Amino acid sequence: DIQMTQSPSAMSASVGDRVTITCRASQGINNYLAWFQQKPGKAPERLIYAASSLQSGVPSRFSGSGSGTEFTLTISSLQPEDFATYYCLQHNSYPLTFGGGTKVEIK
């Protein structure tokens, strides 16, 4: 199984901050990675697909990068509605695996 190690597991940040979240895969997954945002009590919503492609309707302050084993989700200027938990998902091979999540809280 491919393990997805996400860091940090939690962070505090202020509105306007640049935020970076990392996912590391235990083996290469090409660019078969997606990022999801989940707000309390809600289902996850996809932000990024194919590691760096922005989902339609998602603000351009979100971006993804990486390939192989290391991937990054960046929020260029954190907004109040961005406080949430973020997950990566690898779909290079079965079993599909999610990262452990990063909770972004208000500082």
Partner 1 sequence: QITLKESGPTLVKPTQTLTLTCTFSGFSLSTSGVGVGWIRQPPGKALEWLALIYWNDDKRYSPSLKSRLTITKDTSKNQVVLTMTNMDPVDTATYYCALRAIFGAVTNWFDPWGQGTLVTVSS
Q: Is 97 in the site for partner 1 (CB under 8 A)?
A: yes
Query: In the chain, what is the straight-line distance between the N-terminal and C-terminal CA atoms, in Å?
Result: 36
Q: Is 96 in the site for partner 1 (CB under 8 A)?
A: yes
Q: Which residues lie below 8 Å from residue 55, measured CB to CB, with a gap of 6+?
A: 46, 47, 48, 49
State the binding string over 5-44 for partner 1 (x if CB under 8 A, else -): -----------------------------x-x-----xxx
What residue type is 57 in one-letter code? Answer: G
Minimum distance of partner 1 from residue 81's CB (angstroms): 18
